Structure 1
Amino acid sequence: MFFTKSKTAENNIENVKKRLIRRFAIIAISTSFVVFLTFSLKLVKEEDNQIALYLNSFQGFAQQYYQRAPNSSIAVSPNITAYYDSAFLPDNIKLEMPYAKDEVTRVRSYSEDGFMVYHTTFLSNGNEIPLYLTIDTRTLDFGDDNWDILLSISTLLMLFLVGILSVSTKRMFDELMSPVVELSQQLRDEERSKFTVSENTIDEIKQLTNHLNSYTQMKERVVKQEMMFAKYASHELKTPIAIISGAANLQAMKEEDVEFQAKQRHRIIDAADNMQSTVEILLNIVKQENAATSDQVWAVNEQAIPISELSKKAKLGVEVELVIAPNTTLSFPLPVLKMILKNIVNNSIRFTEQGSITIHVATDHISVQDSGTGLSDKNQTDHGLGLLIVRRLCNVHGWSFELKDNINTNGCIASLIKKSR
């Protein structure tokens, strides 16, 4: 458990930012060091080239000095010595012999004891005289007095650039991750129903925010539908239970009345059958069984759908008519079809004071038209609550459901259309 918390703490945005800046700093320092070392070596090499040219330029002076006063060696400058016999060369220079003729030979150029030798020959009084011009590579200064200053300035410049890079990286990371931090804080707020980010946020995070808002709205909608569904299921189960309980109590009041007893038993049986159908349908919905993938169909006729059961709640003056197309077969089981029609017709009856309610049933289309008040802001929610079970059943069995105004009768049209596979 402790390990999990430690890993979580290490992966928060602040620590990720520190690690990112640290890595950028290491990369910047390493890169700067490589560049600095490369340029330093290049400068040293160029300095050696200048020294070699400087050494070669004293060839003529050395020959003139010898012709004026022949000697084994002579200092032609404070830093350059000319030797006219290899036997008189210093021991450290002798160890590196032989030297290429008419070329400058570099020995240990990057070392403090490095030196250069230019070897050639010239004629003096008809004799060929060898000439060795020597110089220590570190005794001649070409601005070396400022070398420490150059190193210091280069180091400070490198550190300054690393600092600028670190600050820039931190600001860029903060700008990039601030919307994520903002969203994370909003997610911790359980009461928040909408997430927002600034306009300057990158498009991907805006898209993520839009999806979060969509999921939040979907969650709220699903929760509301589940509550409505639970309320409806409770009503559908409580009603037959109340009928059964009432009929049983009435039976006990008139035990000698045979006709009365038979009537109550019939009420109990009908209520039990209705409750059984309701339970089976609700369980089918809860299990999310997709009947749209099944090829089984059920024949439908007027005997299968008693119009009297659908119209018994209709107000006086409201006529309920059922029209079934010939050879109609549906992918709905009959109990499901009855419950769908019952809910739609009950909603139509609720908002129809006079006129008619017409039910059309065909193989791929079912409609219920009424002459009621139609849809409005006032009764839109009531329609939705009553028809929630219809929508759920249609989704399970592969049908679509739509409720809209009937422009011809000022009522509503509830349409069920079978979805094509």
Structure 2
Amino acid sequence: MSASIRSTKSLTTSLAAFFITISVVIGVIAFTVFALAIHWSEDRMGERRALLDRDIAIERFIAGENGKIKIDVLTDAYNDLSLVPQPYRQFLVDYDHYLGEVEMAPHSISRMVYKGSYSKNGQSYDIVLLSRIDNIEFDLDEIVYSSLIVVTIVSILMCIFGTVVYRLSIRLIEPLNDIAKQLESHSGNSEHEFSISNQAAEEFQILTDRLNQYRTDLNLALKREQAFARYASHELRTPLTVVKGATKLLARKEQTEFSQRQVERIDNATEQMITMVDALLGLVRYERNVDDIPLREINQQELETILADNSLQARDKQLDITLTVHSQPKLKAAAPVMNMVIGNLIRNAIAATPQGEISVEMDQDKIVIIDDGSGLTELASPQGHGLGLLIVEDLSRRYGWQFTLTNHATRGCIAAIQFQPNHDN
């Protein structure tokens, strides 16, 4: 039963089948109980009748009658066991007192039998009564007929109740099914408004209103996001372009070594900012359509470029960065996104490493960055460099990757991104 009610669409049918089964069981129980009750009541009635006839027989035997006497058309009384019919006489020999119905084969003749005693002139005598109880009891056809009447009435009532329950279940469950269908058919349409019958339960009306409110809020958030993607590109790119152009003009002039290094730092920071803007805007534009992003190969040249763009601080610290490429993965991620993810990990590793080297390994399924820092427990900031690991975690979650940051057994930290090619392919 539990497997059949996992879906509300089949719940009404399951309830109807369950109710029919219960009705059949109740009908069988009612038939059995009614038949047993009739049989029990007939036996009790026969026993009470036998006790009443006993008193009459005793009075007549005391009055002087002997042998076999007829109490009425159903009952015979005996004060001499030798006069009792042989089948019943053999049955009563071992009893001093007996009251019950006896059925004799082969014709299934039923008799209510009573054996007791009475006193006359200080002497005790046996008394036996045989009552043709089967003449007044229901026969098998009558029991079946009366039981069927009871079962029929119970079945009609159960059908009425079952119909009411079925209609109530439909009224309670169908609105939920309707909402589920609307959610399924309009999952990508933020403009769709959910509707529900006015006859649905109050809780479903509230649920529908809240869903419409949440969808309205979501639609407003999407519009704000689209507006940001539309206007932020110009507003952010214009000053960055100005800074980039001014940096190039400064680089043409003859400068001291210190000034030249500062110009390079400004140019490098500007490039990183442009990359970050491209990646964030790309997320705003494409995160809702990840399946539409083309699959592309992340080659060694792209990875070397990312390392070169984000290793200026490593040169200042005289850190070595080694790159090992076992294979080139295919991912649904634009170049700015990869630059942001790997660049943040590289800068985070550089910031955490006072001396030594940083190892970068890439294969078909993952990229791993190992530093020679002091480990996770001694990092000054768990968020890493700038937006750092928060951006990496967010981007990994959006693209279905798995990001982990753990301590190395002999070195610093291991930052690993599992690309999960099954998801991307």
TM-score, normalised relative to structure 1: 0.50
Decide whether aligned partners of structure 1 residues 156 and 179 sit closer, same or farther in structure 2, where only a CA change above 3 A counts. same
* CA deviations over 1:121-171 (Å, ceiling 9, x no partner): 345677543210022442324799964542232121011012112101111
* CA deviations over 1:206-261 (Å, ceiling 9, x no partner): 3432342233224323322332332244324643676589889xx9xxxxxx9996
3-state SS of the aligned residue for 1:152? helix
1:217 maps to a residue whose letter is T
- Percent same amino acid among aligned pairs? 21
Contact 1:59 1:133 in 2 (8 A): yes
The whole-number CA distance in structure 2 between the counterparts of 1:66 and 1:33 is: 49
1:48 maps to a residue whose letter is D
The whole-number CA distance in structure 1 between the counterparts of 2:244 and 2:276 is: 21
1:162 aligns with 2:153: no
Query: Which residue of structure 1 lines up, in the alignment, with residue 308 of structure 2?
Result: none
1:54 aligns with 2:53: no
Contact 2:102 2:110 in 1 (8 A): yes
Shift in Å at residue 43 of structure 1?
A: 3.4
3-state SS of the aligned residue for 2:218? helix
1:106 aligns with 2:105: no
* CA deviations over 1:34-72 (Å, ceiling 9, x no partner): 344334433332222222222222235535665788654
Residue ranges of structure 2 left out of the alignment (5+ in a row): 255-259, 284-386, 391-425
Decide whether aligned partners of structure 1 residues 261 and 120 sit closer, same or farther in structure 2, where only a CA change above 3 A counts. closer
The whole-number CA distance in structure 2 between the counterparts of 1:259 and 1:73 is: 144
Contact 2:67 2:79 in 1 (8 A): yes
Query: Which residue of structure 2 lines up, in the alignment, with residue 22 of structure 1?
Result: 17
Contact 2:111 2:131 in 1 (8 A): yes
Cα root mean square deviation, aligned: 4.8
The whole-number CA distance in structure 1 between the counterparts of 2:33 and 2:251 is: 112
The whole-number CA distance in structure 2 between the counterparts of 1:155 and 1:244 is: 93
Contact 1:247 1:268 in 2 (8 A): no
Shift in Å at residue 87 of structure 1?
A: 3.3
3-state SS of the aligned residue for 1:194? coil
3-state SS of the aligned residue for 1:121? strand
The whole-number CA distance in structure 1 between the counterparts of 2:47 and 2:180 is: 67
2:147 maps to a residue whose letter is L
1:86 aligns with 2:85: no
Contact 2:35 2:147 in 1 (8 A): no
Query: Which residue of structure 2 lines up, in the alignment, with residue 182 of structure 1?
Result: 178
Query: Which residue of structure 1 lines up, in the alignment, with residue 406 of structure 2?
Result: none
How does 1:248-287 map onto structure 2 within 5 Å?
Answer: 262=253, 274=270, 276-277=272-273, 279-280=275-276
Residue ranges of structure 1 left out of the alignment (5+ in a row): 1-6, 252-257, 288-392, 397-421
Query: Which residue of structure 1 lines up, in the alignment, with residue 226 of structure 2?
Result: 227
Shift in Å at residue 177 of structure 1?
A: 0.9
1:76 aligns with 2:71: yes
Query: Which residue of structure 2 lines up, in the alignment, with residue 34 of structure 1?
Result: 29
Q: State which drifts further: 165-174 or 77-86.
A: 77-86
> Which is higher, the Rg of structure 1 or of structure 2?
1
Query: Which residue of structure 2 lines up, in the alignment, with residue 138 of structure 1?
Result: 134
3-state SS of the aligned residue for 2:135? coil
2:223 maps to a residue whose letter is K
| Number of residue-to-residue matches in the alignment | 273
Contact 1:28 1:162 in 2 (8 A): yes
Decide whether aligned partners of structure 1 residues 260 and 212 sit closer, same or farther in structure 2, where only a CA change above 3 A counts. closer
Decide whether aligned partners of structure 1 residues 259 and 167 sit closer, same or farther in structure 2, where only a CA change above 3 A counts. closer
Decide whether aligned partners of structure 1 residues 8 and 141 sit closer, same or farther in structure 2, where only a CA change above 3 A counts. closer
1:51 maps to a residue whose letter is G
3-state SS of the aligned residue for 1:176? helix
Decide whether aligned partners of structure 1 residues 14 and 77 sit closer, same or farther in structure 2, where only a CA change above 3 A counts. farther
TM-score, normalised relative to structure 2: 0.50
The whole-number CA distance in structure 1 between the counterparts of 2:271 and 2:231 is: 13
3-state SS of the aligned residue for 1:184? helix
